[in-house]
Amino acid sequence: MGKHDNGKNYTPMTQPQHPQTPTPEQRGPRKRKKWPWIVGALVVILLIFAIASPSPEDGDTPSAGAEEEPSEITPETEDSAALPELEVIFEPDPIVISGVGQTATDSFLIEGGATKFTMSHDGASNFQAIVLDFATGDRAGSSLVNEIGTFRGSTIRHLPAGEFVIDVRADGPWELLIEQPRPTDGPVGGSFSGQGMEAVGPIRVSGGLTRVELSHDGSSNFQVSFIDSQGNRAGRSLVNEIGAFSGSTTASLGAGLYWLDVNADGPWTINLS
């Protein structure tokens, strides 16, 4: 401090006091911040959950936006496991041929096996249809039909695989429907009725001895035979008579599918038991 030299008493001048910044030793211990520890703890917990959670297998992760479809549950029954698989057999398309008068048809292909012919004729004279092998010209069995005048009827027989034509003799319009049936089932036995020529079936036979009752109310031939699934005659004719008939007989057949090939000119009935 300086003094005034004017000889008078002096008052010492006081300098302004400035607060002093405390030293680190005077501040005491610093408080540590807690949030870094909290963040670190959360990161560790998340890592633990990520490691412990099972990762989805390949192909199990659904695509974004895709909804999981509920699986369809098929109820099981006691008989479901025992059901056999059905054999799928494809049947060839039918063939339709028509004309007027005497005609040699265009050739057609047959896969081989049972072949059914459904025929019609609107005329007054003879109607005859004969199947011929296209390669050799030989007849493939007897005439399909040999009748006079108007006719509606069907028959079934075996044809080998190959190409064929039909020699038609007629005096009016006619039509032929050629089918190659490949059935897998049919009714067991039963009663059947009709008129004139007809192929009836398929009919399932269990095997063994079958009793057959037959009746016919006509004036011409009445002939009935069993035809197997390949179109071949099975055993002897059940009946071969002229005119009205009523009777019964038996047939010994193996288990399988059959047709009844009926040749008649009047109404008839057949009962299988």
Phi-psi region of 129 (alpha: psi -120 to 50; beta: other; left: phi over 0): beta
* pLDDT tops 50 at residue 11: no
State how far Cα 107 lies from the chain centre: 32
* pLDDT tops 50 at residue 14: no
Q: What is the pLDDT of residues 229-271, one digit of tens each?
A: 999 999 999 999 999 999 999 999 999 999 999 999 999 999 9
Distance CA 12, CA 88 (A): 129
Contacts 24+ apart (CB under 8 A), 62-69: none
Q: What is the pLDDT of residues 159-198, one digit of tens each?
A: 999 999 999 999 999 999 999 999 999 988 899 999 999 9
* pLDDT tops 70 at residue 133: yes
With respect to residue 132, please indicate whether it lies within any of the assigned structural domains.
yes
- Above pLDDT 70, what percent of the chain? 68
Q: Is the dihedral of CA 224, 225, 227, 231 positive or negative?
A: negative
The 10 Å Cβ neighbour count of residue 193 is 12
Does residue 164 share a domain with residue 131? yes
Lowest mean pLDDT among 61-70, 100-109, 148-157, 258-267: 61-70
Q: What is the DSSP string of 204-251?
A: EE-SEEEEEEEEE--SSEEEEEEEETTS-B-SS-SEEEES-EEEEEEE
**Higher per-residue confidence, 135 vs 3:** 135
Exposed e or buried b for every residue in 18-34, given b needs 16+ CB within 10 A?
Answer: eeeeeeeeeeeeeeeee
Question: Are 192 and 104 a contacting pair, CB within 8 Å?
Answer: no
Give the pLDDT score at 189. 84
With respect to residue 73, please indicate whether it lies within any of the assigned structural domains.
no
Lowest mean pLDDT among 36-45, 54-63, 227-236: 54-63
The mean predicted confidence, pLDDT, of the chain is: 81
With respect to residue 58, please indicate whether it lies within any of the assigned structural domains.
no
For residue 230, the domain's CATH number is 2.60.120.380
With respect to residue 47, please indicate whether it lies within any of the assigned structural domains.
no
Collapsed DSSP state (helix, strand, coil) of residue 176: strand
Does residue 178 share a domain with residue 97? yes
Does residue 204 share a domain with residue 166? no
Range of the domain at 242: 184-273
Q: Which of 164, 182, 200 delimits the end of a domain?
A: 182
Distance CA 159, CA 156 (A): 10
Overall number of domains in the chain:
2
Residue 30: pLDDT band with limits 50, 70, 90? low
Q: How far apart are the first and last CA of the chain?
A: 150
